[in-house]
Structure 1
Amino acid sequence: MKVLITGASGFLGASLLKAFNTLGFSIDTLGRSNDNQIKTDLVNMATKLDTSYDLVVHAAGKAHMVPKTPEEEELFYAVNVKGTENLLRSLKVIPKYFVFISSVAVYGVDHGTDIRESHPLQAQDAYGKSKILAENIVQQWAELNGVKTTLLRLPLLVGENPKGNLKTMINAIRKGYYFNIGQGNIKKSMVLNDDVVNFIPKIMEQGGTYNLTDGYAPSFKELSDTISNHFATKSVISINYQMIKPVAMIGDLIEKITKLKMPINSLKLSKITKPLTFNDDEARAQGWNPREVLKHKELWLN
């Protein structure tokens, strides 16, 4: 099978490249670094790709940043929307299968439980809106060209050398300044990187739109205890919400004035005090059988 992967140097893309090589696929990668067979910037891409691909996995995208200026917001649209348009336009030979790596951010909710794929796409932030637009572009192109397409909406990705909020949490626990709010019983959906990767060859022929989670959604206390025990650090303390709320507001003010990223602000406080879980029954009906993140800490803690 001939495969094109975008974003192969990214967190998920690197795992895709490794797994697909193991499967014996013939792979081209597309990106800005010299490691790619096709070195190009999707935002400014004007070249045409002559190769005939059976499968294209579009994992490139901009994430893990809260924009503070209009220019930073525009980056999400440039990479996630224009970049997707340019990729599709560049494919001179239409592939059989196309997999787009999307995000649960498209739902535009900061709390909720058991959220399904049928939930309205109502994101208002730059990242979520850019993913909605990109999904629409992919679906319209796929319908026009008869391509079997899969959209994977992912929550927090967990794997070797984790990124984003999980990386921040691990570092804070190791240095002894992490704390839970209240009982730390707020649950969040997450999923193992490798499980997502291994599902792609199974689901690409079926197509569709799917939430992927580990099916358990650990609480902050369960997650922090797992990390703390692994590194043999002191137990994570809990702080009353009313005590930390003014600190978060001060963090907002400092960020507004200095543009510096603070360890706690109102947005982060909201995220760690409200449950956010997603339903993956649609994927399970198609053979999705993930592992629980907490039961496989060897895959993401080292």
Structure 2
Amino acid sequence: MYIITGNKGFVGQNLSKYLKEKKKITIGVSRKPDNFEVAYSKFNLLLLNQSKGVIHLAGKAHDLKKTSEDSEYFEVNTELTKTLFDQFLKSECEVFIYMSSVKAAADVVDGILIEDVTPNPVTVYGKSKLAAENYILSKEIPQGKRVYILRPCMIHGPNNKGNLNLLYSFVSKGIPYPFGKYENKRSFVSVENLCFVINELIDNTNIESGVYNVADNESLSTKDLVKIMGEVTNKPAKILKTPKFLVNTLAKLGDILPLPINSERLQKLTENYVVSNQKIKNQIEKELPLSAEKGIEKTIASF
């Protein structure tokens, strides 16, 4: 049996289904404001001793609207993780997988992000994830146990638009993509590839405990994404090479006025954020099920 915290979330639902197809029994705990701490209190030694592994997905996601208190991130992402991990260490449970984020390592990537970079998170979300990582890494792992910290990059999959939504709105409405002057590359991970990695970590006792980035093999430019969306929706993408000074001026106006683009959105659409998955691939010694392009195609086809 495997415990999945946050089983009602996007990744949790997909992982529960994936593991069921692999003939694994799972028990889920959902994070809701009124019952999360109560649910965590149920993680007694009896339950953990009956389980082979814990996949800890539950957490407070990055609040793009910036309405959350900083303390909420540390209460959920850090303190509750520490509580669950302490219980795991005391139990007979064998595997602990913590879903962190690349944002625990860096908000800006110069070159390619690898696991041994010195972490420097800027957001409170990233800092709360890193604090949980540091706590886990500070503990001695008993013999017979395995502990994995996963840092996925931007996760996507069928029925989850996420940060692809703004791009999709451009393409689906036939609006030209105006940022053709910008050249960038960024990494994504399909939820199918993420579930594959988690299942391999569960099954393969030879994989060393540690921190692992999770990403698709290939990185894509935003223009690549726009073209893929156009092909999937049968609406050929229109890419305009608007002068950068004009785009930057509009973005600054968008910081004040309710425009479709502002400085933050422009950065997200045009920044470089390439993540290496070589460390986890070397350990798994298998190829990921989906290419980056095929994964994006499956996601877009579900919109």
* TM bin (shorter chain): 0.7 to 0.9
Q: Deviations over 1:184-213 (max 9, x none)?
A: 531110111111111223224323211122
CA-CA distance at 1:157 after TM superposition = 1.0
AA in 2 matched with 1:265: N
Which residue of 1 is the match for residue 18 of structure 2? 19
| 1:54 maps onto 2:52 in alignment | yes
User: 2: distance between equivalents of 1:254 and 1:298?
Assistant: 33
Q: Once the two structures are aligned, what percentage of the paired residues are identical?
A: 26
AA in 1 matched with 2:248: K
Q: Deviations over 1:213-252 (max 9, x none)?
A: 2121011111111101211225233232211212222222
| 1:263 maps onto 2:253 in alignment | no
Which residue of 2 is the match for residue 110 of structure 1? 108
**Alpha carbons 2:222, 2:270 under 8 Å: kept:** no
Which residue of 2 is the match for residue 164 of structure 1? 162
CA-CA distance at 1:99 after TM superposition = 0.6
**Alpha carbons 2:107, 2:122 under 8 Å: kept:** no
Which residue of 2 is the match for residue 220 of structure 1? 222
AA in 1 matched with 2:23: G
Aligned counterparts, 1:52-91, within 5 A: 52=49, 53-66=51-64, 68-69=66-67, 71-89=68-86, 91=88
AA in 2 matched with 1:293: A
Query: CA 1:228/1:298 → structure 2, altered by over 3 Å: closer, same or farther?
Result: closer
User: 1: distance between equivalents of 2:58 and 2:176?
Assistant: 31
Which residue of 2 is the match for residue 236 of structure 1? 238
Which residue of 2 is the match for residue 258 of structure 1? none
User: 2: distance between equivalents of 1:240 and 1:8?
Assistant: 45
AA in 1 matched with 2:2: V
User: 1: distance between equivalents of 2:143 and 2:78?
Assistant: 19
User: 1: distance between equivalents of 2:143 and 2:196?
Assistant: 26
CA-CA distance at 1:44 after TM superposition = 8.1
| Partner SS state of residue 264, structure 1 | coil
| Partner SS state of residue 216, structure 2 | coil
| Partner SS state of residue 272, structure 1 | helix
AA in 1 matched with 2:36: D
Which residue of 1 is the match for residue 248 of structure 2? 245
| Partner SS state of residue 56, structure 1 | strand
User: 2: distance between equivalents of 1:190 and 1:210?
Assistant: 15
Please list every run of 5 or more consecutive structure 1 residues that lacks an aligned counterpart in the other structure: 34-38, 256-261
Structure 1 consecutive aligned stretches of length 4 or more whose deviation exceeds 6 Å: none
Per the normalisation by structure 1, the TM-score is 0.85
User: 2: distance between equivalents of 1:151 and 1:126?
Assistant: 19
**Alpha carbons 1:248, 1:265 under 8 Å: kept:** yes
CA-CA distance at 1:81 after TM superposition = 1.2
User: 2: distance between equivalents of 1:62 and 1:236?
Assistant: 37
User: 1: distance between equivalents of 2:220 and 2:178?
Assistant: 14
User: 2: distance between equivalents of 1:109 and 1:149?
Assistant: 25
More displaced 10-residue stretch of structure 1: 124-133 or 265-274: 265-274
Per the normalisation by structure 2, the TM-score is 0.85
Please list every run of 5 or more consecutive structure 2 residues that lacks an aligned counterpart in the other structure: none
Which residue of 1 is the match for residue 130 of structure 2? 132
The root-mean-square deviation of aligned C-alpha atoms, in Å, is 2.6
User: 1: distance between equivalents of 2:38 and 2:71?
Assistant: 12
CA-CA distance at 1:66 after TM superposition = 2.6
User: 1: distance between equivalents of 2:176 and 2:103?
Assistant: 25
User: 2: distance between equivalents of 1:294 and 1:180?
Assistant: 22
**Alpha carbons 1:43, 1:79 under 8 Å: kept:** no
More displaced 10-residue stretch of structure 1: 287-296 or 109-118: 287-296
User: 2: distance between equivalents of 1:66 and 1:104?
Assistant: 16
Aligned residues: 289
Q: Deviations over 1:84-103 (max 9, x none)?
A: 12333555634200011111
CA-CA distance at 1:74 after TM superposition = 2.8
